[in-house]
Amino acid sequence: MPREITKHSTVLEAISKVDIISELLERHDGHFTYELDLEVIAYGRNYNGKKVGPYVKLYVFEPGEEVIRQGDWGSNTFYVTVDGRLDAYVSDEKGQQNKVGELPVGVSFGEMAILAGVPRNATVVVPPGATATVLEVTRPALRLLRKLPKFGRALDMSYRKHGLGRVLEDVRQSTHNAFSPELIKELGNAARFMIYGKNHVLHREGEVVDRIAFLKNGWVRRVRGLDFNPAITDMTMGLDEEDVGIDFLGAGNCLGLEGVETDRTWKYTATVLARTEVLEVSIPHLRANPKLRDAVMKSFPEFSVADDDVELLRTLDSRTVSATEKEITTGLVDGTNLLVMDMDLCIRCGNCSLACHTMHGKSRLLRRGIHLERPTKIGSSFTQHVLSPSVCMHCQDPECLTGCPTGAIGRFSGGQIDIDTKTCIGCGDCATQCPYNAITMVPRKAPAAEPETWQTRLKGWLDIAPQPLPAPVTETENLLAVKCNLCNNTPLNPPGRKTHKFSCQESCPTGALVRVNPREYFTEVQNRIGIVFRDQTHAIGRNIHKKDSVARLWHVGGILLTVALTLATIWGLFQYGLDGRIGGTWVTIRWLTGLVGLVGIAVVMAYPARKQIYRRRAGPLRYWLLSHLYFGIIAGILLLLHGGRSTGGLLTSLLMISFDLVILTGLFGIACYLIVPRIMTSIEGEPLLIEDLRARRNELRETLGQIGQESSDELRQVIKDKVRRRYLSFGYLLRQYVRREELSALEAKARHEMEPVAEGLSDRNTRRQLMDAVEATVTLRRVDSLIYLHQLLKLWLAPHVVA
């Protein structure tokens, strides 16, 4: 273990020895120029009664001790050599450690893990017979140290140097060593590593191709036939020009290869959609080096999906173009572990939020977020409605890490973003920085929970209404930042488990919710990434929306077992009758159907018991629902045959009626689960919670009431006789479900229908009030239709459970 030196004077002396950070001790008129920064970096500071810093620690490492190890996630610290010797080693494909150099005094290392969000790319160790004194610097110090001119320049140069080296290494590996070390060096001399921000234009259509652009990360939009505009996709959607083209390219693609051998002009305008790192290779340098040029022209086209032209817009599905751009510009594709909900499968039960709340004491999953409409497959006419809820997606380049004053939030082992509750001071900077509203501030000391008794447990089992979410946080002091941590270090994922489970996904009864690799899930994006970077994410989980072999096995087995048992029972009835003994034994068909039916009922009753399990592994709830479904059907068929033609006494008749009611309501519930979500997604636009819909309904009713108060007697009568009778009718409600028109189209048609009525009114203001009433009434009916669908999903539960 390294030995820490805590004496402040020694730490300050170490800082003064390092040229790139020595400016921190610079004085002006007898005072430190960076006095406040120096205080928190070297000494620490009091923040509302909690200590922040120090951000640097001084360590002495003995011979053979490792400072950093290749492959470890170290996104919270980097190091600066103060004294002694350090060697750097890199493991090859066979795991052999190869020394690549020595680190001189005064240089920083390990900062790429912070800046790029990648694992350590080398092992740094103290050689035998030597010692090393090293400054350990935590992430929060970066934003303060970058104020120092020398450190800022050194950091920028280091990032560009490492970035260039990483790209060249990726090129070498992806081309299977087609580039010799000499050619790689020459390629580096001919190239520059650049970082561009959103909406930067790499080149314009018609300009001379003077460089190759290799995308290390980020996204580029290529457009042909239109002038540059940040909203180019929206413009393109309304154009029918045959020579307009548009597509998107991600990491690993090359632009400009067509201009290497002969002079060419760009056939498209390339615009950066998000922060993008680019390796730009000068074409004049390539032409001056035929050997390097030939290697580039032979190898680069093999791992890039880009060509020298753009697909024509008329050959593309506009839904694919729109969905691709939204996936890129919202940052969904740059998440390393994305939670998605297929809203065509979601039954709006809220069990995912309840599971998260039960697991963590506070729900970290908000069922609001980014909504996408995309083809199920490229070229398919079917549309999938996807919601990415407001929950942490563990970004590749997380903004939440930049503002934390203690380094409590960082990238931990496995690549996930997490918060160290011990060092979090509740300042809320991370929650403010997160663009997805995925971090919540909660009281550090949660209110004491009421003791659970057998009565409350029984009530929870029998209660069919969703449990209400806790009240919003109103405290402003002693808070703690919480977010999704992928259920790490919970009873669901104890240490040592090889497989990883998520409480929200395990508790979804229909499989609507799943954690995925976004670049695999969104096929339209996956096809635009070069081979070099196609699989570089940290996603855990299986995309059951595309393929769920276990569910398919349940369906096949359930159908076959239902058919087989039904046919076997009918055959037995013809052979032996209900009470005839089988093979001379005491066993009869009535006994067999009764016993098998009771077993089926026992399996059916296991589903509500499983639904109450959130904090330990018990198998995905969606498979339990399938067992509930098929064993319920089997039990229903066999017990109906078990009764025969005789209705029995009054009690038996009542029991059979109750059992029939259970079967009928269950079948009705299955139909609701299959049909209602699909109707809902087709008419609601952005997914809305029932609470949002009820609030909107109240707003619209107040608006109509206000119009009625402010209008004349003539207008009130028109609204009552013409508007309300027409647009609040039962027939207009059914129209919402049958035609499934967009709300804007409905409002336009309603205004057109009411124009003759409006022309007969006395003045302009009255006509405007009429049109306002029409729009509010039509919108109210749309909101009513969605509320009724929400209620329909739960309407059948009460008779199903009670019966």
Peptide bond into 405 cis (omega under 30): no
The predicted-structure confidence for 657-685, as pLDDT tens digits, reads as follows: 888 888 899 999 999 999 999 999 999 88
| Residue 474, pLDDT above cutoff 60 | no
Task: Say if 3-139 and 167-316 have the same CATH topology.
Answer: yes
The hierarchical CATH code for the domain 167-316 is 2.60.120.10
Question: What average pLDDT does range 169-185 have in this prediction?
Answer: 82
Position 468 scores a pLDDT of 54
Question: What average pLDDT does range 287-300 have in this prediction?
Answer: 89
CB–CB of 135/80 below 8 Å? yes
Question: What average pLDDT does range 704-717 have in this prediction?
Answer: 90
What is the spatial distance between Cα 39 and Cα 41, in angstroms, rounded to a whole number? Answer: 6
Q: pLDDT class for 460, splitting at 50, 70, 90?
A: low
- Asked if CATH classification 2.60.120.10 holds for the domain at 3-139, the reply, yes or no, is yes
DSSP state string for 391-408? S---BSS-GGGSS-SS--
249's enclosing H/E stretch is strand 245-249
Those residues with Cβ within 8 angstroms of residue 771's Cβ, 6 or more apart along the chain or in another chain: 751, 754, 758
Those residues with Cβ within 8 angstroms of residue 327's Cβ, 6 or more apart along the chain or in another chain: 333, 372, 374, 518, 522, 524, 525
Position 170 scores a pLDDT of 80
CB–CB of 204/269 below 8 Å? yes
The mean predicted confidence, pLDDT, of the chain is 85
Show the DSSP H helices in 304-439 as ranges.
Answer: 318-329, 351-360, 429-433
Cα-Cα-Cα-Cα torsion 719, 724, 727, 731, nearest 10 degrees, comes to: -140
In the three-class reduction of DSSP (H, G, I as helix; E, B as strand; rest coil), residue 162 is classed as helix
Position 236 scores a pLDDT of 46
What is the spatial distance between Cα 385 and Cα 512, in angstroms, rounded to a whole number? Answer: 11
Question: What average pLDDT does range 648-658 have in this prediction?
Answer: 78
The predicted-structure confidence for 409-432, as pLDDT tens digits, reads as follows: 888 777 788 898 888 988 888 999
Position 560 scores a pLDDT of 97
The predicted-structure confidence for 350-383, as pLDDT tens digits, reads as follows: 999 999 999 988 888 888 899 998 887 766 778 8
| Residue 62, pLDDT above cutoff 70 | yes
Cα-Cα-Cα-Cα torsion 481, 484, 489, 490, nearest 10 degrees, comes to: 110
| Residue 642, pLDDT above cutoff 50 | yes
The structure tokens 């908000």 sit at 366
Residue that wins the pLDDT comparison between 454 and 79: 79
| Residue 439, pLDDT above cutoff 90 | yes
Position 365 scores a pLDDT of 87
Q: Is 0.85 topped by the overall pTM? A: no
Position 542 scores a pLDDT of 43
Question: What average pLDDT does range 262-280 have in this prediction?
Answer: 90
Domain borders along the chain are 3-139, 167-316, 332-445+459-533, 549-646, 690-800
Question: What average pLDDT does range 107-122 have in this prediction?
Answer: 84
- Closest to 267 in 3D by CA, of 300, 232, 222, 306: 222
The predicted-structure confidence for 714-729, as pLDDT tens digits, reads as follows: 899 999 999 999 999 9
| Residue 113, pLDDT above cutoff 50 | yes
Position 738 scores a pLDDT of 93
CB–CB of 704/771 below 8 Å? no
Question: What average pLDDT does range 105-111 have in this prediction?
Answer: 90
The predicted-structure confidence for 12-57, as pLDDT tens digits, reads as follows: 999 999 999 999 999 888 889 999 899 999 998 887 777 888 999 9
The predicted-structure confidence for 594-619, as pLDDT tens digits, reads as follows: 999 999 999 999 999 999 899 889 99
Question: What average pLDDT does range 125-151 have in this prediction?
Answer: 92
Q: Is 574 exposed, middle or buried (0-12, 13-18, 19+ CB in 10 A)?
A: exposed
What is the spatial distance between Cα 202 and Cα 219, in angstroms, rounded to a whole number? Answer: 11
Sign of CA dihedral 440, 442, 446, 451: negative
The predicted-structure confidence for 317-362, as pLDDT tens digits, reads as follows: 677 888 888 899 899 988 888 999 999 999 999 999 999 999 988 8
Position 98 scores a pLDDT of 87
618, two tokens: 């018990």
Q: pLDDT class for 398, splitting at 50, 70, 90?
A: confident
Position 579 scores a pLDDT of 86
Position 526 scores a pLDDT of 72
Residue that wins the pLDDT comparison between 396 and 385: 385
Measured CA angle at 29 (ends 26, 30), to 5 deg: 70
What is the spatial distance between Cα 85 and Cα 83, in angstroms, rounded to a whole number? Answer: 7
| Residue 159, pLDDT above cutoff 80 | yes
Lowest mean pLDDT among 82-86, 244-248, 277-281, 702-706: 244-248
| Residue 292, pLDDT above cutoff 60 | yes
Position 559 scores a pLDDT of 95
The structure tokens 């498979």 sit at 623
What is the spatial distance between Cα 775 and Cα 744, in angstroms, rounded to a whole number? Answer: 9
The predicted-structure confidence for 485-524, as pLDDT tens digits, reads as follows: 999 888 898 888 888 899 999 999 999 999 988 888 887 7
The structure tokens 């060593």 sit at 177
Residue that wins the pLDDT comparison between 280 and 49: 280
| Residue 593, pLDDT above cutoff 70 | yes
Position 366 scores a pLDDT of 82
Position 370 scores a pLDDT of 93
Position 235 scores a pLDDT of 46
Show the DSSP H helices in 116-228 as ranges.
Answer: 141-145, 149-174, 181-189
